[in-house]
């Protein structure tokens, strides 16, 4: 999560001028705080939080800063928040026949939480496709998480697809 502290003029359309460079460069805006009570010289402090994908973060952030500068938006501060470690994975195979609750419990035993499960299958006997949104501990690396998932999937003959 990236948090920008900026100052924008208290005029119609200023907020759009702030949001455009962020969304045009792949930013997913999570929240905006306006501090009208701290207005000085017609400039209002604003905090905007957004997410950028890791693969494009460096390049996109550069572009965002440059485009904000072109729009005369002054950046006061940039902060990088501690993100919850989340990952989306897909499992394909006989996910339910191989006891999906057991899969979830095995993950839970290692402090890995399944936040969301979405499944698609046509017939009960056919293979199922399951999407899991997983939260995993700060101290666990992504590689460790994937190794844990892979161990479970290999035993159950499930195809694991990660990002």
Partner 1 sequence: MNVNICLIGKGIVGTSLIQILLKKKEFFERKFNINFVVNSIIEIDGALINSQGIDLKEVIDIKENFRRLPYWEKDAKFEDITSKLNIAICIETTPTNPKTGEPGLSHIIHALDNKIDAVSSNKGPLYLEYEKLRNLAKLNNCYLKYEATVASCVPTLGIKEALIANEIISIKAILNGTSNFILSRMTAEGINFDLALKEAQELGYAESDPTLDVEGYDAAGKLVILANELLGWSKKITDVQVEGISKVSSHTIELANSDGYVIKHLAIAENNKLIVTPRLIEKHSPLNISGNLNAMELQTNYAGPILLIGRGAGGLEAASAILNDLIYISKRRGYIT
Paired tokens of 84:
């919850």
Compare residues 106 and 131 and give the one whose CB is closer to partner 1: 131
Asked whether position 161 contacts partner 1 by CB under 8 A, the answer is: yes
CA torsion through residues 128, 152, 134, 101, sign: positive
Asked whether position 57 contacts partner 1 by CB under 8 A, the answer is: no
Residue 78 CA from chain centroid, whole number: 18
Asked whether position 58 contacts partner 1 by CB under 8 A, the answer is: yes
Shortest Cβ 113–partner 1 spacing (Å): 17
Q: How many residues bind partner 1 (CB under 8 A)?
A: 25
Paired tokens of 8:
């924008």
Beta strands at 128-136 and 85-93: parallel, antiparallel or unpaired = antiparallel
CB 149 within 8 A of CB 160: yes
93-132 binders of partner 1 (CB under 8 A): 93, 118, 120-122, 127-131
By CB under 8 A, name the binding residues for partner 1: 26, 53, 55-56, 58-59, 88-90, 92-93, 118, 120-122, 127-131, 143, 159, 161-163
């Amino acid at each position: 999560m990236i948090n920008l502290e900026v100052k924008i003029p208290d005029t119609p359309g200023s907020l759009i001028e702030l949001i455009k460079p962020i969304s045009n460069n792949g930013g997913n805006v999570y929240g905006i705080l306006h501090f009208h009570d701290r207005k000085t010289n017609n400039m209002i402090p604003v905090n905007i939080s957004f997410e950028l994908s890791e693969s494009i973060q460096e390049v996109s952030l550069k572009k965002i800063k440059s485009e904000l500068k072109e729009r005369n938006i002054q950046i006061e501060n940039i902060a990088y928040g501690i993100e919850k470690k989340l990952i989306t994975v897909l499992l394909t195979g006989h996910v339910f026949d191989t006891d999906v609750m057991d899969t979830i419990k095995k993950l839970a035993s290692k402090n890995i939480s399944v936040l969301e499960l979405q499944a698609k299958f046509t017939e009960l006997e056919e293979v199922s496709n399951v999407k899991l949104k997983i939260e995993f501990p700060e101290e666990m690396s992504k590689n460790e998480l994937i190794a844990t998932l892979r161990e479970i999937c290999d035993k159950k003959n499930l195809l694991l697809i990660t990002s």
